[in-house]
Amino acid sequence: MADLPHGKLGTDDLWDAMYTQRAIRYWQEKPVPRELLEKVIESASKAPSGSNLQPWVFIVIDDAGTRKKIGAALNDFYEEGPLKEMIAQGQQVEDKSQRLMMQGAQAFFSKLANAPALIVPCLYQLSSPTPDPTSLEAGSSIYMAVQNLMLSARGLGLGTVMTTAHSLVNDMLREACDIPDDAYPVALIPIGYPDANFGPTTRKGLDEILRWNTWS
């Protein structure tokens, strides 16, 4: 990656990228060169998949009109539905982590249109014995690709956040991006130069999440 412009927040250290990666919901207006967007998609393509089928296509939306249309649709959903009241109530609870989560959700809906690019990972040409092609069992490989994408973005000094908010405006998204019926969007990932800090992050310790041999 030495020939790519990392920016001051980039890193070549995988451990540093993992330990400082965090959800970024604020972005600078600076556009992201397509060279870097192609690099993060190339990184995603290196992820393993069942039988090496690589059942994915990544739609990168850097057209300003399309980005603003998607952002406006999601913000309208937030403003006009019960979600706004739920988030407002969530910001009043005592649990700090819950309050921060709700603040992040509010920022996401209001700031999404400012992201220089959006990435929509889609399951495509999926071969699976499961009856539902969008099930976790059928399409779980794509989330390893998404993590590759987000880690490589962190290495390049780009901020991302993975959301499933696309499902709130699925029909509009499909029409705007001309997504065929046999492709299934699984996430919506804004990406850009961050107008916020990367980690270190607060995560649960091993004593809370690790079990040896049995649950108890």
Closest by CA position to 149, among listed 17, 5, 2, 3: 17
- Phi, psi (degrees; rounded to nearest 5) at 22: -150, 165
Q: What is the pTM of this model?
A: 0.86
Report yes or no on 184 lying in a domain.
Answer: yes
Residues 76-87: tens digit of each pLDDT? 887 777 766 777
Q: Closest Cα to residue 134, out of 145, 146, 122?
A: 122
Please report which confidence band the pLDDT of residue 117 belongs to, taking 50, 70 and 90 as the band edges. Answer: very high
Number of domains into which the chain is organized:
1
- Secondary structure (3-state) at 214: coil
Is 151 within the bounds of a domain? yes
| Domain coverage including residue 120 | 14-63+113-194
3-class SS letters over 156-196: CCCEECCECHHHHHHHHHHHHHCCCCCEEECCEEEEECECC
Residue 101 has pLDDT above 60, yes or no: yes
The answer as to whether 70 is a domain residue is: no
The pLDDT, as a whole number, for residue 135 is 64
**Residue from 117, 190, 191, 193 nearest 157 by CA:** 193
Report if residue 122 sits inside a domain. yes
93, part of any domain = no
Q: Is residue 27 part of a domain?
A: yes
Does residue 146 lie in a domain region? yes
Question: What CATH number does the domain containing 150 carry?
Answer: 3.40.109.10
Q: Residue 205: its pLDDT value, please?
A: 92
Q: What is the pLDDT of residue 7?
A: 41
Look at residue 116 and tell me whether its pLDDT is greater than 70: yes
The whole-number pLDDT of residue 6 equals: 41
- Kindly tell me if the per-residue pLDDT of 210 is higher than 90: yes
